Structure 1
Amino acid sequence: MDPSTRKVVIFGRGSWSERRRLADILRLETVGGALLLAAAVVALIWANSPWAASYEAVRAYEVGPAGLHLHLPLGVWAADGLLAIFFFVAGLELKREFVAGDLREPSRAVVPIAAAAGGVLLPALIYTMVNRGDPAALRGWAIPTATDIAFALAVLAVVGRNLPSALRTFLLTLAVVDDLIAIVIIAIVYTQQLLVLPLLAALVPLALFGVLVQRRCRTPWLLVPLAFTTWTLVHSSGVHATVAGVLLAFTVPVRPRNGEPDADDPGLAGHFEHRLRPVSAGFAVPVFALLTAGVTIGGLSGLTTALSSPVAVGITAGLVLGKTIGVLLATVLVARFTAARLDEGLAWTDVLGLAMLAGIGFTVSLLIGELSFGPGTETATQATIAVLAGSVCAAVLAAVVLRFRDRAYRRIAEAEAADADHDGIPDVYAVRDDHVR
């Protein structure tokens, strides 16, 4: 069949090898989402308890060498340092998806890219409309544009055990593209003062790191100092230091020297991802949440006051309404004006529930909130409360919608699990059909 006329299946199965790889990622991200949620709850309880002063003291405690401008509060280390690990893993996943994953085919990439774009543009537009006329508040226009994949997958895990993996895979892919957009926004919009010399100097350790990984070097005592030096110089340049994680990830080769990545040889990117994803999902992101999500609410009246501010209204509406409508509308338009069609057994209700899940913005939204208004400010507190409230609201609405489809998910899962020839591969993947391949 001519690739130009091949129909794209929205939420299609994709390849069996890609599904197995993504299944491993999804399990780790789901666990990470549970840890992330637990860390956020602990932070909120701690910050609103009689021991609130100790929480602020921990977050403000400074460590690091002063001579390198790295004597920083723990809260800054979490946002700039630990999240660099998160963005390094996101960069590896992004490169792998577009180099060796199913998204290397433009026909498969167009749907999640369009959905991610819609899920960024509409929340930003809603926030801008709510806060028009206030230049200071408009700095936070990007806060509701992010999707937290770990948090969203944790919600999916709670909703039911029979969810179609295609929905999880699509949500993961959408979030990967969403992360790329967030990286570009952070690098361009939130760089207040650019120092050219440190940025140019960062190219030296970055290039050395790239040379070593292209030679398939895995030696930590060589790679880690170069990565840290790159991060330090990017941090000194005024560009947000998490961007260094993405730049380092983009230098890592995806394919092994011979052939495509597989279980026996996942390539250097797969090796690093396997080693660092548990660190990112199980430590870096939860610690960031613990040191960021703790805001003093001030009881019901304080919560009402914070959520009624234009900044909070814009963020909440952007996450709950903007993400839902943006992702759903973009997917519908792709299906309407291209050859794409919804996979058999799924309904547009599923797309609606998935679009609602995309409204769970947490990690990157909290980071952009701090970059927009500064940590500890009243507006930053309002933004944090709005991110938490909007994410919880989106999660509850998505769970309600997706729960209605649980029985259909069970039937689809049973059909996909059928393996009559007992070869270890579900029979549905052995079907020689264009939309499956």
Structure 2
Amino acid sequence: MSTSPSSRTAPHEIWRGIRQTVQTDTFGGILLLAATVAALVLANSPAAPWYMGLRETSFGPEALHLHLTVAHWAADGLLAIFFFVVGLELKEEIVAGRLRSPRIAAVPVIGALGGVIVPALIFTAFTVTAPGDAVRGWAIPTATDIAFAIAVFAVVAKGLPPALRVFLLTLAVVDDLFAITIIATVYTDDLQPVWLAAAIVPLVLFGLAVRRGIRHWWVLMPLAIVTWALVHASGVHATIAGVLLAFTVPATVTPRARVQVGTDADGSPIHDAFTAHFADRFGPISTLVAIPVFAFFSAGVTVGGWDGLVSAFGDPVTLGILVGLVVGKPVGILLAVFLLTRVPSVRRTFELRWGDMLGVGLLAGIGFTVALLVGELSYGVGSLEDDHAKIGILSGSVIAAIVGGAVLAGRARRVRQTESASPSPGAS
């Protein structure tokens, strides 16, 4: 039986469907969760020696200090792709998006700032008298995981105002901006100015090429890799290179820097900025490869049974992170937004309900990808403090997801019940 041409699905249509699925909030969260569970199972099973050995396997050239373990390649290399995508989102929001208007951007920006300060203060209060360098991890509970938080929101918050998702997304993106700044300034111990200055050359060339409309991978990729390698050699965490490269990409449609993405109903070409083009290309790589691989090699912590859990939860590091994420995040966000909305001009434009805001504040306590990275930078991979930090991050994130998801699901259920009970406009 032959298949008519009209019933066949073209390869590009199949790929488009796959890419749309990959880019959904729910898919990214499920993949990240699967990688995390796999890491925890392996680290606490008879396969633990194999898992730990794989994580500590080193490879790469000695030049520019690039002979790294697999775990470091995941954290320093793959996460640079994630931060490149985050940087593109930040650039687009600042130049042409929600952060363009100071009045509109003020609420999530100030909320994000409160969500950074209060968890940091809580962690410091728990660890300031602890022995050693426990307080060094003060920035761990300050970050919100975009993929996890948006995935939970997509599942439970159907029917709630679209502006609520915009608030959460903007909050998480700005939150990552604060985290990036902290990583670049606080966790750079051995700065090598010569290498950092050398990184400016390929960075500028990358920016000039993109602004002239060049998008050939064989031109841009070598420049990006050299920039990353030089930033890594400078002592600044290499993920910052991803953000710097993203910020050179134009976020507005210009004659030279634009990409044709299709045609309209009249057959006229439709163009888009390079930020959207690169985010569309690298977003699936970040979702499918960078984030889950990093989670697989970073989330695997050997708990050590019941005694191990008791020991971990007796550590101020674990408790500071747990309380910082579950309590500090929502308190900091809600308090900052409440104080800001006392300003009359802001209060008039603020339309979200406080019950919905509570659910979003709780979801913001899902600190995972960046929190794990900051934990490793604070204490070193494989240290006891880092293992306890991971337990605090994982347990705090799970509690925040469950409680925040339950609050938003309950409010979404009430909205749907109210809408179903209301008579339709045409009913007599």
TM-score by length of 1: 0.85
Structure 1 residues 292 and 205: CA distance shift in structure 2, 3 A = same
Q: Supply the distance in 2 between the matched residues of 1:127 and 1:345 (Cα, whole angstroms).
A: 32
Residue 76 of structure 1 is matched in structure 2 by 72
- Is 2:42 the counterpart of 1:46? yes
Residue 392 of structure 2 is matched in structure 1 by 386
Secondary structure, aligned partner of 2:144:
coil
Indicate if the aligned counterparts of 1:28 and 1:278 stay in contact, CA closer than 8 A: no
Q: Supply the distance in 1 between the matched residues of 2:321 and 2:348 (Cα, whole angstroms).
A: 31
Q: Supply the distance in 2 between the matched residues of 1:360 and 1:308 (Cα, whole angstroms).
A: 22
1:16-31 counterparts in 2 under 5 A? Answer: 28-31=24-27
> Which entry has the higher C-alpha Rg, 1 or 2?
2
Residue 64 of structure 1 is matched in structure 2 by 60
Indicate if the aligned counterparts of 1:29 and 1:281 stay in contact, CA closer than 8 A: no
| Cα shift at 1:262 | 10
| Cα shift at 1:69 | 2.2
1:10-409 counterparts in 2 under 5 A? Answer: 28-134=24-130, 136-257=133-254, 264-341=270-347, 346-409=352-415
Pairs aligned (count): 393
| Cα shift at 1:397 | 1.0
Q: Supply the distance in 1 between the matched residues of 2:41 and 2:236 (Cα, whole angstroms).
A: 33
| Cα shift at 1:186 | 0.2
| Cα shift at 1:142 | 0.1
> Which whole-Å deviations, capped at 9, do the CAs of 1:91-144 have from their partners, x for residues lacking one?
110010010112201111100100000000000000111111345011100000
Deviates more, 1:305-314 or 1:116-125: 305-314
Q: Supply the distance in 1 between the matched residues of 2:349 and 2:103 (Cα, whole angstroms).
A: 15
Structure 1 residues 292 and 361: CA distance shift in structure 2, 3 A = same
Give the AA of the match of 2:284.
P
Secondary structure, aligned partner of 2:271:
coil
Give the AA of the match of 2:308.
G
Structure 1 residues 123 and 106: CA distance shift in structure 2, 3 A = same
Indicate if the aligned counterparts of 1:254 and 1:261 stay in contact, CA closer than 8 A: no
Q: Supply the distance in 2 between the matched residues of 1:334 and 1:219 (Cα, whole angstroms).
A: 46
TM-score by length of 2: 0.87
Structure 1 residues 292 and 412: CA distance shift in structure 2, 3 A = farther
Indicate if the aligned counterparts of 1:100 and 1:261 stay in contact, CA closer than 8 A: no
Indicate if the aligned counterparts of 2:64 and 2:232 stay in contact, CA closer than 8 A: no
| Cα shift at 1:413 | 8.9
- Give RMSD over aligned pairs: 2.4
Q: Supply the distance in 2 between the matched residues of 1:181 and 1:161 (Cα, whole angstroms).
A: 29
> Which whole-Å deviations, capped at 9, do the CAs of 1:238-270 have from their partners, x for residues lacking one?
000000000111100011115999973221111
Give the AA of the match of 2:188.
T
Runs of 4+ residues over 6 Å off in structure 1: 259-263, 342-345, 411-414
Secondary structure, aligned partner of 1:265:
strand
Q: Where does structure 2 lack aligned partners over 5 or more consecutive residues?
A: 1-19, 262-269
Give the AA of the match of 1:115.
G
Q: Supply the distance in 2 between the matched residues of 1:262 and 1:338 (Cα, whole angstroms).
A: 44
Give the AA of the match of 1:360.
I
Structure 1 residues 67 and 262: CA distance shift in structure 2, 3 A = closer
> Which whole-Å deviations, capped at 9, do the CAs of 1:212-249 have from their partners, x for residues lacking one?
01112101001000000000000001000000000111
Deviates more, 1:340-349 or 1:300-309: 340-349
Residue 11 of structure 1 is matched in structure 2 by none
| Cα shift at 1:148 | 0.2
Q: Supply the distance in 1 between the matched residues of 2:381 and 2:236 (Cα, whole angstroms).
A: 17
Q: Supply the distance in 2 between the matched residues of 1:261 and 1:350 (Cα, whole angstroms).
A: 38
Give the AA of the match of 1:110.
A
Indicate if the aligned counterparts of 1:100 and 1:260 stay in contact, CA closer than 8 A: no
Give the AA of the match of 2:362.
M
Q: Supply the distance in 1 between the matched residues of 2:284 and 2:241 (Cα, whole angstroms).
A: 20
Deviates more, 1:392-401 or 1:377-386: 392-401
Give the AA of the match of 2:92.
R
| Cα shift at 1:411 | 7.1
Structure 1 residues 242 and 64: CA distance shift in structure 2, 3 A = same
Identity of matched residues, % = 54
Secondary structure, aligned partner of 2:198:
helix
Q: Supply the distance in 2 between the matched residues of 1:385 and 1:179 (Cα, whole angstroms).
A: 21
Structure 1 residues 189 and 324: CA distance shift in structure 2, 3 A = same
> Which whole-Å deviations, capped at 9, do the CAs of 1:18-51 have from their partners, x for residues lacking one?
xxxxxx8995343211111110011000100111
Indicate if the aligned counterparts of 1:128 and 1:138 stay in contact, CA closer than 8 A: yes
Q: Supply the distance in 1 between the matched residues of 2:76 and 2:378 (Cα, whole angstroms).
A: 14
